[in-house]
Structure 1
């Protein structure tokens, strides 16, 4: 097998339909820069699909089939093909039983997940098939826009702020603590989560990065699912100091406390926010390190090459399933 296998990707064209998820679409389709990728967007039997496309693929990738097939078509008969198959998985804390049934019924050979530790705890029987493919950034979108830093403290993200029923209280305890403590602090700005499946979003992609770029300090966490959400990459990638509650995956990704972000918890985030707000030298040093760290190790192109390595290694008979990510 050469390093340029032919890949059939079963996916919806959701990047423009759902702007908030455009980065996910761009990340997975960046694979086409490094190998031959053929796309299929409609529901159907894989046996019929293989008759309609112009090539015989070496590998089939089915994008996340959960969420009512919003992001990927409903595909049947995957268990009947001899071509190796892979599935992409994002929010494993949702639709767990549906995902489990899908993995089992379709004999999926590789499972690409944006999270590591929570996935392996949720699906321990799929450790052999697991391949870690974390979130990443598009450096043309998430970057230093060189805007005036006119926001001291910024928070954007899903949280129960007392006016919503979802998420339930306690899903994001760190975010709840930040909002409660910081809401009346001078220079603090809170932008409510806009929802997932809507095209009417003011802060998305470039404008989201620009908002981050205006801030000195940005807060986030992985909530009770305990995984590095995309903001772990977007905030430092927009040259903003990330103050975040860490989790196991964060350390494995190469995040280092007081070097490229600041680790904190519900007890000490306020003290650390005040310190780094006042200490411009340290804030700038860590912010700069974080920016270069993300743009060197966690871009779409880097991730696409990691995905290709996973596939070519598998096709070549290699069993290793844990590539170094930094």
Structure 2
């Protein structure tokens, strides 16, 4: 069995953890800090477990037979095109071994649907998320979710005793995803002498220029103040701990999560908004004694509560699993709290604080507009949400609904198809989000192709969800069948897959009426009538000429030796099928020995291209 394994923390008294981690080694030539974060996860786990890391394709049952773990942890939902997701088979075996998923990603990641697919495929019902706001972004699984929050490595982020010669240090991205930084950084950098670090995307060819590790920690240690924020989600990010952990004073946007972490204004940090941040910074720099007192208190808070030695939640879960009796369940006392046993059901308020995320507020406005049949206002709100995060799946899904309500069925089908591709092709999930798939089928029917939609409806046979049952019932009706009783289509079944799309409960009659309006606006009044009163006709569906290129490619890719290149989407013109074949081919070449040797050349070319683009931008600015 070809496994890349690492055993850390060999104390015989520790339970053995089999950690199926992604292969993050391709980041070595790009993002050094990414590698450090992934290694820190293993170091943190090793304080509680004997850790065996597996990051290659393997058979789960064989790995369990070989290592005999007490628990298995699967990294999932990671958002990158660089790290490699290992293929693990037979995960549903060894059911006597407790299993959990580590959601190592931003709470708003577009890989959440992939994570939910992994949960279903692997038979896992427990998630540990590094994001304190994860329950707000995955409410359909909040009862199964715990937080294993960010932390620092105290060997790196510590007091080096460096003289503080830098008034303010600014680091990190400052675009729309970070609205507080976007407003604050330009003001502070113009008014106060600052050390400003350039920020690069982790996948950028210039990412190796990022200051990270000990160099970054020493720069913080030489700074009096450093500013950061928790994105539009008001998340607790690593920088919130790295800054005070390296003994600089943290100045940041106030949030409930930070208060749960123990931060208090003018005691161990300084909270500020765009309107008063300059006054706050001036006040601290002008009062060295108070600044020293706050800095020391922040340092003590982080070093005593937020290092890799202070994250026992996964070990606690394992121990509580063995002690739990019927009528009890495991709950977490806040996002930084311990796990405890308590009588079921678990109160929802113990899961996570309300972060008041900006994008969630905008999405609620958009949803309310759709319910009010105002797709124009809804579209504006969904597009506003995408300005925070351009790949936000809830916003793209909402725009697909707007397309249908405005009579643009083809545009809606393509948008829903893009969400399906993001899960099944880009991430590599076994199947897409069931709600995304259901509405792709409905959009296809709204474009006059109900029989084609019905033929595709079984492409992902394991998917189950009320929205998908409703969609299949509608397609059967449009193709001459009868609708089941409304009560049957209102039921939520135990086997239903959770969805990223948190749809409000809606009786089938209202759902049916809204869909009929969309059919009418998309030029399918006969389908609308047939759906609602049974008197209309679905309309004439001309037999489509098959796309010969797609049909030929799909047939060839079913042959032995080529199936690994076959995309996990239908060979349909709404999907970028041939593009996905090309990308899968490129990825396999990159993973080959020759491809690995070519990675350095590819990265250097990309770095030169990005550097030339940056220089051109500077020249244009001067002009």
TM bin (shorter chain): 0.7 to 0.9
Unpaired runs of 5+ residues, structure 1, are 161-169
Aligned with residue 153 of structure 1, among 168, 175, 196: 168
Paired residues for 1:191-202 under 5 Å: 191-197=197-203, 200-202=208-210
Measure how far apart 1:77 and its partner are. Answer: 3.6
1:103 aligns with 2:119: yes
Q: Which residue of 2 aligns with 1:75?
A: 88
Measure how far apart 1:80 and its partner are. Answer: 4.2
Aligned with residue 286 of structure 1, among 294, 298, 302: 294
Distance 1:249 1:188 in 2: 27
1:172 aligns with 2:187: no
Q: Which residue of 2 aligns with 1:166?
A: none
Bigger shift: residues 287-296 or 71-80: 71-80
Q: In the alignment, is the contact (CA less than 8 A) between 1:217 and 1:242 conserved in 2?
A: yes
The alignment of Structure 1 onto Structure 2 pairs a total of residues equal to: 312
CA deviations over 1:262-281 (Å, ceiling 9, x no partner): 11112211111111111111
Q: Which residue of 1 aligns with 2:129?
A: 113
Distance 2:147 2:251 in 1: 24
Distance 1:20 1:6 in 2: 27
Measure how far apart 1:226 and its partner are. Answer: 1.8
Distance 2:275 2:119 in 1: 40
SS of residue paired to 1:37: strand
Aligned with residue 261 of structure 2, among 248, 253, 258: 253
1:307 aligns with 2:314: yes
CA deviations over 1:21-55 (Å, ceiling 9, x no partner): 2134223333223332222120233234334x2x3
Q: In the alignment, is the contact (CA less than 8 A) between 2:76 and 2:118 conserved in 1?
A: no
Distance 2:82 2:70 in 1: 24
1:127 aligns with 2:142: yes
Measure how far apart 1:183 and its partner are. Answer: 2.3
Measure how far apart 1:323 and its partner are. Answer: 4.5
Q: In the alignment, is the contact (CA less than 8 A) between 1:27 and 1:138 conserved in 2?
A: no
Aligned with residue 43 of structure 1, among 43, 57, 60: 57
Unpaired runs of 5+ residues, structure 2, are 1-11, 338-623
Measure how far apart 1:134 and its partner are. Answer: 0.8
Q: In the alignment, is the contact (CA less than 8 A) between 2:64 and 2:94 conserved in 1?
A: no
Q: Which residue of 2 aligns with 1:62?
A: 74
CA deviations over 1:163-189 (Å, ceiling 9, x no partner): xxxxxxx32111011122122223122
Aligned with residue 237 of structure 1, among 245, 249, 252: 245
SS of residue paired to 2:197: strand
Measure how far apart 1:236 and its partner are. Answer: 0.2
Distance 1:247 1:104 in 2: 33
Bigger shift: residues 228-237 or 129-138: 129-138
Measure how far apart 1:143 and its partner are. Answer: 0.6
Q: In the alignment, is the contact (CA less than 8 A) between 2:16 and 2:51 conserved in 1?
A: yes
Q: In the alignment, is the contact (CA less than 8 A) between 1:151 and 1:189 conserved in 2?
A: yes
CA deviations over 1:69-127 (Å, ceiling 9, x no partner): 826523244344412211111212112322232233333232111222x2111212322
SS of residue paired to 1:158: coil
Higher helix proportion, which one?
A: 2
Pair 1:280–1:321, CA change in 2 (3 A): same
Aligned with residue 322 of structure 1, among 317, 326, 332: 332
1:189 aligns with 2:195: yes
Pair 1:88–1:6, CA change in 2 (3 A): same
Distance 1:13 1:175 in 2: 32
Measure how far apart 1:14 and its partner are. Answer: 3.3
SS of residue paired to 1:281: helix
Aligned with residue 19 of structure 1, among 32, 39, 47: 32
Pair 1:77–1:251, CA change in 2 (3 A): farther
Paired residues for 1:266-281 under 5 Å: 266-281=274-289
